[in-house]
Amino acid sequence: MGVTSAQQAPQRARMGPWRFVVWFGTVSLLADFVYEGARSVTGPLLASLGASSLVVGVVTGAGEAAALGLRLVSGPLADRTRRFWGLAVAGYALTVVSVPLLGVVGTLWVACVLVIAERVGKAVRSPAKDTLLSHATAVTGRGRGFAVHEAMDQVGALVGPLTVAGVLALTGGDYGPALGVLALPGAAVLGLLVWLRARVPDPEAYEREITPPSTASGAPGGRLPTAFWTYAAFTAATTAGFTTFGLLSYHLVERHLAHTAWVPLLYAAAMAVDAVAALATGWAYDRYGPRVLAVLPLLSAAVPVLGFTHTVTVAVAGSLVWGAAMGVQESTLRATVADLVPSGRRATAYGIFAGVVGAASLVGGALTGALYGSSIPALITVVAVVQALALILLAVTRPGRAQARR
């Protein structure tokens, strides 16, 4: 007897979990192509429209605050409505529409609104996107799945700025074509999302297949596990003691260790290390569990030791170690959240987690910046103490991890 079209439809609507991860990674690659390309020239673009340094600082700072802080709203909203695909598509659409428009507006205030709108788009989509991805990584391995996604993400973060720089060089600094060309990968983002949603309308099915029904989702309105809050404290500590690339590059230029033109190339190299570190720690996480995360405080403590020396090669090594730490932060840290929190509350957890990271990043930037101006040895010592505290918090988190190994 033949199979009816109705019976075939669910099969056509599914794909293997690894294919889902890779296709979602492609979406992120193209989206990073778009918004990292724009962010690489946001300051000069606003300045060309008459912005002062204060305006540039306020607008870009407000954008980053929106990108992280608004996830405290979008995360719970995703859990309540269960409209993960809708929020992901809406967030990506806001970003990929805002960026090309930046190249054609001629008014400063409109450009400022668009810069912030692009960051709001990231806030809208991120908790939903991470939750969708977490379902497939339940099968592929949390660490490996998030690591592959992060590595593909970084490819876009490299190609976007390089493309914008190339078009600017060809057009004599015309921002219109340089940002307009980003509409092409932006359109591809939306097309791929619509196609992926049609193929996998319910990614949570991946996780339901391997998780007992009693623990598969949890109550959308339930409390977050205690282990999550301890883990968030660990993340806050290691992030608060993390030196920014801005401060590392400031040291290189101000101490005449490197010319300003070399800084973007060093950043690109750090992003390449980011991708490799994400893949390495992601695979190790699935094999050895959360103990792998102990490498993050160690890397973070090493950054100022190497980065703030007066030897070029050692200082450059510090920036590359910074890239390795970023790879762990952007992949394996997010993977662990999915293992600690049931899917019914996972988007909320990702929203809160982003808020913690954002607040700790602000503290870390202010702390390391202030200490750098007064005493580099004091900076190194304080960072080491903070990272030691982070290691203790990680040790406390591990025993409470609900799903340490599948």
Kindly state the percentage of the chain with pLDDT values over 70: 90
173-221: pLDDT as tens digits: 888 998 999 999 999 999 999 999 999 999 998 988 876 554 445 555 5
Question: Which of 26-35, 111-120, 339-348 bottoms out in mean pLDDT, i.e. has the lowest?
Answer: 339-348
Q: Per residue in 297-341, pLDDT tens?
A: 999 999 999 999 999 999 999 989 999 998 898 888 888 898 888
For residue 398, the model assigns a pLDDT of: 54
pLDDT above 90 for 46:
no
Lowest mean pLDDT segment, chosen from 6-15, 120-129, 178-187? 6-15
Q: Give residue 400's pLDDT band: very low, low, confident or very high (50, 70, 90).
A: very low
pLDDT for residue 3 is more than 70? no
Residues 292/278, Cβ–Cβ less than 8 Å: no
For the ranges 89-93, 136-140, 285-289, the lowest mean pLDDT is seen at: 285-289
Please say whether the beta carbons of 230 and 396 come within 8 A: yes
What is the tens place of the pLDDT at every residue in 235-278?
A: 999 988 888 777 888 888 788 887 765 776 787 788 889 889 98
pLDDT digits (tens, 9 = 90+) for 141-169: 888 999 899 889 888 988 888 888 888 88
Distance in angstroms (rounded) separating the CA atoms of residues 317 and 270 = 9
- Average pLDDT of 369-382? 88
Asked whether the predicted pLDDT for residue 86 surpasses 90, the reply is yes
What is the average pLDDT value for the chain, to the nearest integer?
85
Per residue in 47-67, pLDDT (tens digit) is 888 888 677 767 876 877 788
Q: Does residue 222 have a pLDDT over 70?
A: no
Residue 363 dihedral angles phi and psi, to the nearest 5°: -65, -45
- Determine what percent of the chain is predicted with pLDDT higher than 90: 45
Residue with the bigger pLDDT between 356 and 218: it is: 356
Q: Who wins on pLDDT, 269 or 385?
A: 385
DSSP collapsed to 3 states, the chain: CCCCHHHHHHHHCCCCHHHHHHHHHHHHHHHHHHHHHHHCCHHHHHHHCCCCHHHHHHHHHHHHHHHHHCHHHHHHHHHHHCCHHHHHHHHHHHHHHHHHHHCCCCCHHHHHHHHHHHHHHHHHHHHHHHHHHHHHHHHHCHHHHHHHHHHHHHHHHHHHHHHHHHHHHHHCCCHHHHHHCCHHHHHHHHHHHHHHHHHCCCCHHHHHCCCCCCCCCCCCCCCCCHHHHHHHHHHHHHHHCCCCHHHHHHHHHHCCCCCHHHHHHHHHHHHHHHHHHHHHHHHHHHHHCHHHHHHHHHHHHHHHHHHCCCCHHHHHHHHHHHHHHHHHHHCHHHHHHHHHCCHHHHHHHHHHHHHHHHHHHHHHHHHHHHHHHHCHHHHHHHHHHHHHHHHHHHHHHHHHCCCCCC
